[in-house]
Structure 1
Amino acid sequence: MQPICRRANTIFTSFTRAYRCAILNEYKTPLQVQDVKHRDPGDHEILISTEFAGVNHADGCMLKGEYHLKPVVPFVPGFEAIGTITAAGKNVKNFNEGERVVVFKTGGVGGFSQRTIADEKTDIIVKLPFSIDAEVTPSLSAYCLAYVGMKRLVMENLGNSFLVLSARGTVGYAALDLAQNVFEGLVFGASDSEEKLSVLREANVNSTFNWTDGELARNVKHKTFGKGVDFVIDTVGGDVFDQGLQCLKEGGHYLSLGFSSGVFPKVNLLDLHRLNASISGVWLSGRNRNEIKQAMDMVIKLFDDDFLSGIKIHQYKLEDINQAFEDSQKPDFFGKAVITLYD
């Protein structure tokens, strides 16, 4: 048997004719792990021997039929996969066997599988250097999302003080890490428990706040001499939105990077007028693919140069994928659930 790539205790091969994956047979039902037949990649596709698949908020919404994309069942869900290319279609131009890649499946289908098919023309595929530690790779998508949203604000010189709202410790922690260690701003973090705040402090932020006391705006303005912050980066949504908005200084900007609370807040335009503030959001699947690739390349370089630390990872075997989704929805869960898919 000819190995394609070797890493610690793991050999990836291109001769496996069947593999295991998690299949959703009906919406709002548990995933079923089963064997499926091997499929060769099409002309513009690559076949990946998957190391990790990230469990994201969007995946959970899709399993319940609550995402804006709703594939016909049965299907293998999964937006994000990391692994090594074991085969490439005849028209694939930019990738070769043996290369390590991170893949964003734009349709949200295929990631929770020991073998992932990715289309060079429609999916987002980025080469991953072997110098990047395997344990860091599941953090990349969260950092990419945060970087895309934050880069424009900083490049336009709109300010340098940040308040990051984080309840799950994924995109929020990535935003804190970037703000503190790359964009070098005055950085505050906020969450809903002391245990979570202790994790946020690992990013060396200037101060942290618990928003459950309803005093977030007062506490932030106390630390900013009554002015507030230039940017609020919100990964939570829900009830904390109104508190976050009141933390902005006049002319500030509110950046929404997700809704881990599951609640989409309503914006009172009068509040924006009073603050002379603006608001925006980021959705990676709706952006230019080249822009995302460039952002991912930059994030990878920042990790390679030891500027970033990576979010807390909780690993689960494929057979425990339903437990991973259940755990990730618990109020005290902080970090990212990841499915390990080594053969």
Structure 2
Amino acid sequence: MRAVLCSAFDQPETLTVNTVADPVAAAGEVVIAVHAAGVNFPDALMVLGQYQVRPPLPFTPGGEASGVIIEVGSGVSHLHVGQRVVAFTRTGAFAERLSAPASAVTAIPEALSFDVAATLPLAFGTAMHALIDRAHLASGDTLLVLGASGGVGLAAVMIGKALGARVIAAASTDDKLALCRAHGADEVINYTTESLRDRLKALTNGVGPDVICDPVGGDFTESAFRSIAWGGRYLVVGFAGGTIPSLPLNLPLLKGASVVGVFWGAFEQREPAANAHHLARLMEWVVDGTIAPVVSARYPLEQSAAALRAMLERRVVGKVVVVPIT
């Protein structure tokens, strides 16, 4: 089979596409013919050697994939050959075939496309965990989403709306904000041309947002936190902006507010049943039209580096996928 290989921690352009041995399903595993692999910011960081976990070299990037089971290992009874599935494996997805623990694999309905299915585990899973488990977002709350046109950001816009929140989307261009409006944002802020604090004050009558979802970090963190409502929850999701910001600790004190960490990867490992419930709910929402994940580009296996470069440069709108099997 063909697979993308990372032989040294370096820029995405150093990745190669090689012919390697087909995987075999060990006990408790399945082998999936990969039709789509989601591309995420952690994939790019892993290639650079800047992620929390460094896989042994060489490795194949890509943490989530959808496709069809072509082999089932011993001890697996709930999955079968020919079944359409999605899997979260942390590595290995940028390949024509992927071996995965059966516990990491979930059947998908026929109405769900492979492209969309491959976008759900990490970005939408993170947004679900953030808003439901960590922020306890309630109907009627005001939610501010920073970096709202990216994978996690746009997922948070859709999920926040599905949960009954008033959603304010903040992004860097009017085109990105138009996409956010099309997917449920009630109000938008272009934080390159407008004052984030002034607009939030005007949009919330000076009260501020109850929940802030921040997958970006960087320059707007402190400004956003200074605008948070009394008792608000600030979700620290990631640092796609490239900078890990500092926050004066008197600000949470003055606002009676909470800084809440969101680490979906640990949640997925520690609470698999809760994560599976979120994924099932997400698939129901996609099928019934409550949410509509955006797949803005499809890259062939040979262009995996270009997909990761677009992710690093924050040019991705919604989600993009690598397509090993066309």
- Bucket of the pairwise TM-score, normalised by the shorter protein: over 0.9
**Larger relative contact order (Cα-Cα within 8 Å, sequence gap ≥ 6):** 2
**Higher share of residues assigned strand:** 1
Partner in structure 1 of residue 244 of structure 2: 264
Q: Secondary structure at the match of 2:210?
A: strand
Aligned residue for 1:299? 282
Runs of 4+ in 1 over 4 A off after TM superposition: 153-159
The match for 1:243 is 223
Q: Distance in 1 between matches of 2:55 and 2:211?
A: 36
- Alignment match, 1:175: 156
| Partner secondary structure for residue 239 of structure 1 | helix
Partner SS state of residue 251, structure 1: coil
Counterparts of residues 82-231 of structure 1 (less than 5 Å) = 82-105=66-89, 108-121=90-103, 124-141=104-121, 142-152=123-133, 155=136, 157=138, 160-166=141-147, 169-180=150-161, 182-213=162-193, 215-231=195-211
Distance 1:158 1:276, change over 3 A: farther
Give the corresponding residue for 1:48: 32
Q: Which amino acid aligns with 2:59?
A: F
Cα-to-partner distance string for 1:72-120 (whole Å, 9 max, x where unaligned): 2111121111111111101113211111111111xx2211110000013
Corresponding position of 2:299 = 316
Deviates more, 1:139-148 or 1:323-332: 323-332
Larger-gyration structure (1/2): 1
Q: Output one character per residue of 1:182-215: Cα deviation in whole Å (capped at 9) or x when no partner.
A: 1121111001122211211112322100122462
Query: Superposed, which structure 2 residues align to 1:47-66 within 5 Å?
Result: 47-66=31-50
Distance 2:295 2:85 in 1: 21
Residue type of the alignment partner of 2:290:
F
Residues 193-247 of structure 1 deviation map (CA, whole Å, 9 limit, x = unaligned) = 2221121111232210012246212211111111111111111111111121122
The TM-score normalised by the length of structure 1 is 0.88
**TM, length-normalised to structure 2:** 0.93
Question: 2:135 & 2:254 partners in 1: Cα distance?
Answer: 23
| TM-fit CA distance, 1:160 | 1.1
3-state SS of the aligned residue for 2:192?
Answer: helix
Three-state SS of the structure 2 residue aligned to 1:166 is coil
Give the AA of the match of 2:196.
Answer: L
Check whether the contact 1:232–1:247 (CA below 8 A) recurs between aligned residues.
Answer: no
Q: Which amino acid aligns with 1:334?
A: V
Structure 1: where are the runs of 5+ without partners? Answer: 1-18
Alpha-carbon spacing, 1:148–1:159, altered in 2? closer, same or farther (3 Å): same
Of all paired residues, the percent bearing the same amino acid is: 28
1:37 maps to: 21
Q: Is the 8 A contact 2:135 2:233 kept in 1?
A: no
Which segments of 5 or more consecutive residues in structure 2 lack a partner in the other structure? none
Shift of the 199–312 alpha-carbon distance from structure 1 to 2, 3 Å rule, reads farther
Paired residue type of 1:178: I
Take 2:302 and 2:95, find their aligned partners in 1: how far apart are those partners?
11
Larger mean Cα displacement after TM superposition, 132-141 or 219-228: 132-141
Structure with a larger share of its residues in helix: 2
Distance (whole Å) between structure 2 residues aligned to residue 305 and residue 168 of structure 1: 22
Q: Decide whether aligned partners of structure 1 residues 204 and 78 sit closer, same or farther in structure 2, where only a CA change above 3 A counts.
A: closer
For 1:81 and 1:204, the matched residues in 2 are separated by 27
Q: Give the letter aligned to residue 266 of structure 1.
A: S
> CA 1:68–1:299 in structure 2 vs 1: closer, same or farther (change >3 Å)?
same
The range that moved more, 227-236 or 167-176, is 167-176
Q: 1:137 to 1:50 in 2, by over 3 A?
A: same
